[in-house]
Structure formats: C-alpha cells, structure tokens
Amino acid sequence: MNIKLLITGGTIDKVYNQSSGSVEFEQSHFPEMLKRARVEVEINSEVLMLKDSLDMGDADRQLLLNSCLTCKEDKILITHGTDTMCETAKLLGEKVDNKTIVLFGAMIPYTVGNSDALFNLGCALGSVHLLAPGVYVAMNGRVLPWSDVQKNRDLGVFQPLSP
C-alpha cells in the first residue's frame, strides 16, 4: 500500500535561526524524519510549498485540494501548520470523499528539542492505515474528524468541538 505525503510547511518543518532569533524554512525535514522513524511502508513525498499556515491563501489550498483529488494514492498524509489546519481540513472534508486524508503538524519544530513532530507523524501514519475514508486531524495523541476538531489556542492542543 502506497501513501502520499503532501508537504506544505508549518512549524514542523521550520528551523531556529540563531542570528535573527526567528523560526523559518530552509528545506523539508521529512526525508530525515521518515528515516529516523524507521518507516517501512512506501511513502511518496511531494513538497507543495513550505509556508506558515497563516500565509496560506486560497490558491495554496486549491493546489492542496487538487493534489489530493488527482494523486493515485487513496491514503494521504498532509503536513500543515497548526494555525489554519482546521480550516484546510474542512475544505478537504467537504470536497474529497473517497480517500483517507490525515493532516498533522507540530507545535515545536522537528529540529528543536522536545518537539512533538515525530510523535504526531507516527500517530498520523498509523491512523491513515486504519481509518475509513474521510478527512482527519492527528495531533496531541488524538485523531479527530474534520467536522469535530478545533485548536484550543489557550492550551495549545487540538480537541473536539463538542465536549
């Protein structure tokens, strides 16, 4: 079974710039992450963009949607920034019905100590094998459907809309 990995950026792929004190993009870290995680399934990776999700516009989301609709794989992982992950999941959830899509990211960049990146990658990868077709968000050890997920900015976690 092949899995498509669509890379869009987000905190997970950022690096800390010691000169400026900011986090920014250099390149995707997913080849290294997949090797480090010792992933043994076939993953076809494609970098669509390296953007903070707050900088993603309608054209970026349309590119992501088209990539999901046209790829041959029916199991898709999407890296995404956490700030607008739920909005993108909603768009995909309303437009794609015959594939299993799991969005994930990180609160702390992969290259920074104590990152949640590998954990969230593992959770998303395990989930995409088991879930029914639909669109989901895998963060903080939870996998939630696009229609029942929100980012709690105060706690820095993703949780259901309903209690």
Q: What is the pLDDT along the chain (163 residues), one digit of tens a residue?
A: 699 999 999 999 888 777 776 777 878 989 999 999 999 999 999 999 999 999 999 999 999 999 999 999 999 999 999 999 999 999 999 999 999 999 999 999 998 889 999 999 999 999 999 999 999 999 999 999 999 999 999 998 999 997 6
**Cα angle 87, 53, 124; round to 5:** 70
8-state DSSP, 44: E
**Cα angle 75, 78, 76; round to 5:** 5
**Which is the catalytic residue, given 8, 11, 79, 88?**
11
- What pLDDT, on a 0 to 100 scale, did the predictor assign at position 163? 66
- What pLDDT, on a 0 to 100 scale, did the predictor assign at position 41? 93
Is 11 part of the annotated catalytic residue set?
A: yes
Phi, psi of 9 (to 5 degrees): 115, -135
Domains of the chain in start order, with CATH, are: 2-159 (3.40.50.1170)
Name the pTM for this structure.
Answer: 0.94
Give the side-chain half-sphere CA count within 13 A for 37.
22
Q: Which two tokens stand for residue 17?
A: 């710039």
In Å, how far from its chain's centre is CA 67?
A: 14
- Alpha-carbon dihedral angle through residues 63, 52, 102, 39, given to the nearest 10 degrees: 110
**Cα angle 5, 60, 134; round to 5:** 50
How far is the C-alpha of 113 from the C-alpha of 72, rounded, in Å?
A: 36
Coil, strand or helix at 143: strand
